[in-house]
């Protein structure tokens, strides 16, 4: 019997079991599919990252509050014009920077839950984190621009040097040809 036939047998067994249960007065529903939402991913990422960096197991103690905070954070990025497909990545970037750079952000208490990302009284934390990320990106961009500019400058000088060297070699060849003709 092939694998496909075996699957069909199991499917028919499940269908038969459902029918038997229904015939005996039970209500039978298909199992709910558990979808992983961006909010769930954000909460999971926050606590996993916090646990990894701090070396202590952190977990959501107030799931409803954390979901609310995560939704507000994602909504904020959408309202600021962040594309739908980049919103979660932006939130991950903010979380990662915040956890790694508590001192730069100026938080005077340990981060232990998502309340630090709240968009009410704690909005300043998100604002400052975003500002610091932007400043660091601009500084890296400027450094890369300067480095590329110097590399381009070197290549330009090298090209000029090589073309001048070729011109000099050509002049020397002409002179050497002229001096050979004069000798001959």
Q: In this structure, is residue 113 part of a structural domain?
A: yes
Q: Output the pLDDT for position 112.
A: 85
Which of 71-75, 108-112, 165-169 comes out lowest in average pLDDT? 165-169
For residue 11, the enclosing domain spans 1-33
In a domain? residue 158: no
Structure confidence at residue 2 as a pLDDT band (50, 70, 90): very low
SS (H, E, C) the chain: CCHHHHHHHHHHHHHHHHHHHHHCCCCCCCCCCCCCCHHHHHHHHHHHHHHHHHCCCCCCCCHHHHHHHHHHHHHHHHHCCCCHHHHHHHHHHHHHHHHHCHHHHCCCCCCCCHHHHCCCCCHHHHHHHHHHHHHHHHHHHHHHHHHHHHHHHHHHHHHHHHHHHHHHHHHHHHHHHHHHHHHC
* 89-113 residue pLDDT tens: 999 999 999 999 998 999 888 888 8
State whether 111 and 76 are in the same domain: yes
- Per mean pLDDT, which of 1-15, 46-60, 97-111, 152-166 is the most reliable? 97-111
Are 10 and 45 contained in the same domain? no
């Amino acid at each position: 019997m092939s694998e496909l036939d075996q699957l069909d047998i199991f499917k028919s067994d499940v269908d038969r079991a459902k029918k038997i249960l229904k015939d005996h007065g039970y209500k039978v529903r298909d199992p709910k599919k558990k979808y992983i939402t961006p909010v769930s991913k954000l909460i999971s990422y926050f606590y996993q990252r916090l646990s990894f960096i701090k070396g202590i197991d952190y977990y959501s103690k107030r799931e409803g509050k954390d979901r609310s905070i995560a939704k507000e954070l994602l909504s904020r990025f959408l309202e600021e014009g962040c594309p739908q497909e980049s919103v979660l990545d932006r939130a991950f970037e903010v979380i990662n920077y915040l956890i790694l750079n508590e001192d730069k952000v100026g938080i005077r208490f340990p981060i232990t839950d998502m309340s630090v990302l709240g968009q009410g009284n704690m909005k300043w934390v998100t604002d400052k984190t975003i500002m610091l990320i932007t400043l660091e990106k601009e500084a890296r961009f400027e450094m890369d621009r300067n480095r590329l500019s110097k590399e381009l400058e070197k290549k330009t000088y090298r090209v000029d040097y090589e073309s001048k060297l070729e011109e000099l070699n050509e002049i020397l060849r002409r002179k050497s040809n002229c001096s050979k003709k004069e000798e001959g």
